[in-house]
Structures are given as structure tokens and as C-alpha cells.
Structure 1
Amino acid sequence: MNYTLHQLQVFVKVVQTQSITKAAEELFLTQPGVSIQLKNFQDQFDIPLTEVIGRQLYVTDFGKEIAELANEILDKVQAIDYRTAAFKGILSGRLKISSASTGKYVMPYFLSDFLKEHPGVDLTIDVTNKSKVIQSLENNEVDFGLVSVLPDRLKVDEELLVVNKLYLVGNKDHMPKTAKETKEIFNQVPMIYREQGSATRLIMESFFERTKIKVKKKMELTSNEAVKQAVIAGLGYSIMPLIGIRNEIYNGELQIVPVAGFPIMSDWRLIWLKNKKLSPLAVNYLEYVRTHKADIINKSFSWIDLAQKAHKH
């Protein structure tokens, strides 16, 4: 055996993407370059690692086992780099965060300056829905999760970040003619939902259940952006976090519908497993958040209160 770290990296990426084309794109290599490295790696084994049926690449069971071992080797090599940097007094390592999808409008502001201060830190963020965030925490795959609704069963510690305000919104050209500050409006408008497992979906359903409101469900979409575009197109209305529709409100593509009981309030919070022994990097990041949170909110999120005041007037 005479494989290289580069070949391991290429093979792992091919296994992850199930595609030479996608692996080449993510590694910033040419397709022929990836194909050559993959062939040179596979030729060192008597048992096939991958096979191509039609135009689809499949990873064999043996290939999956080798990919797991390759991942472990690459992690160890990365750990050597981090330990070397730490010995020099440089904060380094990989910070892993799983964020609910709308959290992409929150998390970058709590990371930007930290990463600038510590260039030796690598960041991995998985943007998904609340259910998968909780699953990642349960499997101990990440340091932190970002959610707007706390999990029911999982014991976690938390750090509040910023308020989350949700409003009923619609296309300004398709607003109900009889819109008043009353919940009766839900009898008039078709509602667009997020998918099951979404925190926004959970907040919506909890609101309707608590207020005993029956709604006309129009459709279900799997991302905040998809819901936003559907509402802009006039396909229906939705309850959406203000933090994800700032530009659309300001440029007039979306309009807040005045309804009693809104905004619905929750909080964006960083969570981690209770009693989890955080890495030195995770501890350092948590301390950074606690120290700089007020400044970050004032600098990047003060517009939320201004938008609410403008809506009331």
C-alpha cells in the first residue's frame, strides 16, 4: 500500500457526493484529476471500492468501510495540525454547529469577528431543520445547535442570542380587502406551511391550537426561502420570522398583515448537550458569545425593534 493523503481526501469526497463531478467541484479539481486519483487509490486494493452501473457511481460495502477508516485518518492528521498550532499559542480546531434553516440569518453575525480573530479555527455549519439539529446533538456530531424552540426530551444547556419575532405576511398586491386586526382573517387566506420538523411550523401549529383557529392549508414547502418566494408570488400567506424577510419588507415585496396576537415571540438560542465536556475551542467560543453578545445585537439586530415600531405606525 502506498496511498497518499490526497488520494484519501479524494476518495472520501467521492463517497460523500456519490459523484466524480461533484467531488471535483467541491475539491476545486478537474474531473480527470479526480478520476485519476480515484483509480490510483482503487488499484491498490484487490476488492472494488466503487462500481459504475449505467452512469451512476455506487460505493461497495467494502468501499464504505475504507471510507470510514480514511475519515479517521484524515481527522487524526487534522488533529496534528491543530495540536501544533495550539502548542504555538494559536487557538485552532474545528467548530461544528448545526443550525435551524432560518438561523442562517443569525449565526454568521455571532461568528464573523471570532473567526477573524482566530484564523486557525475551521468552521462547519449544517443548515437544516430543527429535528435534524436535535439529532446531530443527540449523536454528539456537533458542538452547538442553533434553535428557536427548545427540544422536549433532550437535556441541554443554552445561551440566549437574539429575539425571534414571527408575523403573518402576504404579498402587498394580494392583501385581503377586509383585513382588520382580527384573527378572523385566517378564514379568508390560504396558508403556506414549512415542513414537519421545522421550528417555524411548530410555532405556527402551536399558535393555531392555542387560539383554536382553523386555517386553510394551501401547501407545504421545505425551506424558509421557498415559502418566502411562494408568498411573494401571491400563492398564499404564511407566518414567518421577521429576521428572514427584512429586505422583502423594506422593498415592499412582502407586507405584514395586522392581526391580533402578533408578533409571536420566541428566542434564538445556542444549545449544547447538558454535561457535555466542551472542547477548549468550544469553551472559548462560548465565552466570546457571552462577552460580545450585547454589542453584536446592537450592531446587527437593532433593526428588528425599528421594524416593529414602523409596523405599528
Structure 2
Amino acid sequence: MNYTLHQLQVFLKITETKSITKAAEQLHLTQPAVSIQLKNLQDQFEIPLTEVMGRQLYITEFGKEIALAAENIVNEVNNINYKTLAFKGILAGKLKISVVSTGKYVMPYFLSDFTNNNKGIELEMDVTNKLKVIKALKNNEVDFALVSTLPTGLDVESEVLLSNKLFLVANQNHPIVDPKKTKEFLADSSLIYREDGSATRIAMENYLNKQGIKAKMKLQLTSNEAVKQAVIAGLGLSVMPLIGLKNELENKTIKIIPAKGLPLVTNWTLIWLKGKKMSPAAYAYLDFIKKEKERIKNGNFSWIDSH
């Protein structure tokens, strides 16, 4: 056996993505380079690590066992590197955060100074929908999660970062409506929804139900950006978080439609499992957030208060 650490790292990414193409993209390598590393690793085993059926790549049971061993090896190598840095007085380690999709407009601002000042920190930030974020937190796969509504049935601790306001929005040519006629207006309007599992979708549906509005769904889209573009194009209206609309409001491609019961206000909140034994990197980050969140909020999100 003469496999290399690089081969194991490439194979782990392949098992994670189940795709040569996606693995190459995430590793910033070419597809041929990834394929060669996989072949070189496979040549050292008589049992197949992967198999292709149709156009889909699958990891064999043997491959899954090798991937588990490879993960342990890679983690131990990372620990050696972190300990080396720690002996030099440098904070080091891996910080894992799962973020609901609209939170991508928030989380980077609360990370940049910390990671820039601690070069030994390796950051993994997964941006996905709320259901997957909560699942990752529940399975203890991440240190922290960023959500706009606290999960139920999960014992967590939390730190509020920022208020989250949701407004009814339309494109620039849409007429302003009397807020007293919100129910009739929305019942006759075509609305654009996020996908099932999205916190924005849940908030929008709760609002419509509370107002007794039976709305028409025009579109269902899987990202905040897609919803924005659909609104700008005049395909319909939507209830959206203000945090992702700064440029569009300034450029006047989207406008807020006053409506009864809006805005909805929640909080962007950093959460973690209660009683979690934190790594030095996670503990240091939480300490940073508690000390610096007001400065970060005032320096980057003061515009929110004007709406």
C-alpha cells in the first residue's frame, strides 16, 4: 500500500459529493486530475471503491469503509497541524457553521474579522435550507447554526445577532395599495413562494393564514435570488427578508408594498446545542461574537433601521 494523503482527501470529497465533477469544483482541481487520483487509489485495492450505473457514481460498501478510515486519518493529520500551531501560540482548528440560505447576507460579516485575525482557523460554512440546517445541528455535525426562527424540540443555547424584517415586495412598476385592503389585494395577487422547508416560506404562509388570506401561488423557487429576479421581472409579489434587498431597494428595482400585519420581525440568531463541548476554535468564536456583535451590526446593518 502506497496511497497518499492527497489521494485520501480527494476520495473523501468524491464520497461526499458522489460526483467527479462536483469534487473537482470544490477542490479547485480539474476533472482529469481528480479521476487520476481516484484511479491511483483504486489500483491499490482489489475490491472496487466506486461503481458507475448509468451516469451516476456510487460508493461501494468497501469504499464506504475506506472512506471512514480515510476520514480518521485526515482528521488526525489536521489535529497534528492544529497542535503545531497551538504550540506557536496561534489559535487553530476547524469551525463548522450551517446557515439558512438567506443568512448568507448576514453570516460573512460576523466571521470576517475573526477568521482574518486567526489564520489557523479553517472555516466550513454550509448554506442550505432550514430543515437541513437543523438536521446538521441535531446530529452534532456543526458547531453553530444561523437561523431566523428558533427550532422546536431541540435544546439549544443562542445569541441574537440582528433583527430580521420581512416585507411584501413588488417590482418598481407595481402600484401602492391601501393597507386597509391588504386581504382583498393579496387574495387576487400572484404570489411567489420559497420551497418547502424554507423559514421564509413558513413565515409567509403563517402570515397569510393569520390574515385569513387564500392566496394564489404563481411560482415556487428554491433560492432568495431566484425569488428576487422573479419579482423584478413582474411575475408576482412575495414576502421577503429585508436583509437581501439592500441593493434592489437602493436601485429602485424592487419596492416595499405597505400591508396590514407587516413587517414580520424575527431575529437572526446563532444557536448551538445546549451542553455542547466546544472546541477551542468554537469557544473563541463565541467569545468574539459576544464582544463584537454590536460593533459589527452598527457598522454593516444600520440601514435596516430606516425601514
Using the size of structure 1 for normalisation, the TM-score is 0.93
Equivalent residue number for residue 192 of structure 1: 192
Give the drift of 1:28. 3.0
Contact 2:93/2:280 (8 A) holds in 1: no
Whole-angstrom distance in 2 between the partners of 1:35 and 1:106 = 37
Gaps of 5+ in 1: 309-313
Equivalent residue number for residue 125 of structure 2: 125
Whole-angstrom distance in 1 between the partners of 2:113 and 2:251 = 29
Give the drift of 1:239. 0.3
Contact 1:168/1:256 (8 A) holds in 2: yes
Q: Percent identity?
A: 60
Give the drift of 1:6. 1.2
Matches within 5 A, 1:109-188: 109-173=109-173, 175-176=174-175, 179-182=177-180, 183-184=182-183, 185-188=185-188
Letter in 1 for 2:100: A
Whole-angstrom distance in 1 between the partners of 2:135 and 2:26 = 25
Q: Say which is worse superposed, 77-86 or 210-219, in terms of deviation.
A: 210-219
Contact 1:176/1:189 (8 A) holds in 2: no
In the comparison of the two structures, how many residue pairs are matched?
305
Contact 1:98/1:146 (8 A) holds in 2: yes
Equivalent residue number for residue 207 of structure 2: 207
Q: Say which is worse superposed, 181-190 or 147-156, in terms of deviation.
A: 181-190
Whole-angstrom distance in 2 between the partners of 1:219 and 1:54 = 32
| Change over 3 Å in CA distance of 1:292–1:53 after alignment to 2 | same
Give the drift of 1:297. 0.8
Instruction: Give the secondary-structure state (helix, strand or coil) at the position aligned to 1:258.
Output: coil
Alignment of 1:48 with 2:48, yes or no, is yes
Matches within 5 A, 1:1-313: 1-53=1-53, 55-173=55-173, 175-176=174-175, 179-182=177-180, 183-184=182-183, 185-306=185-306, 308=307
Instruction: Give the secondary-structure state (helix, strand or coil) at the position aligned to 1:297.
Output: helix
Whole-angstrom distance in 2 between the partners of 1:4 and 1:77 = 12
Whole-angstrom distance in 2 between the partners of 1:285 and 1:206 = 34
Contact 1:100/1:129 (8 A) holds in 2: yes
Q: Deviations over 1:66-110 (max 9, x none)?
A: 112211211111111111111221101010000010000000000
Contact 1:176/1:188 (8 A) holds in 2: no
Q: Say which is worse superposed, 211-220 or 156-165, in terms of deviation.
A: 211-220
Letter in 2 for 1:291: K
Whole-angstrom distance in 1 between the partners of 2:200 and 2:55 = 39
RMSD over aligned CA atoms reads: 1.5
Whole-angstrom distance in 1 between the partners of 2:196 and 2:54 = 35
| Change over 3 Å in CA distance of 1:154–1:54 after alignment to 2 | closer
Q: Say which is worse superposed, 164-173 or 79-88, in terms of deviation.
A: 79-88
Whole-angstrom distance in 2 between the partners of 1:25 and 1:196 = 28
Whole-angstrom distance in 1 between the partners of 2:55 and 2:170 = 44
Q: Say which is worse superposed, 257-266 or 148-157, in terms of deviation.
A: 257-266
Q: Say which is worse superposed, 76-85 or 100-109, in terms of deviation.
A: 76-85
Give the drift of 1:56. 4.2
Contact 2:95/2:124 (8 A) holds in 1: yes
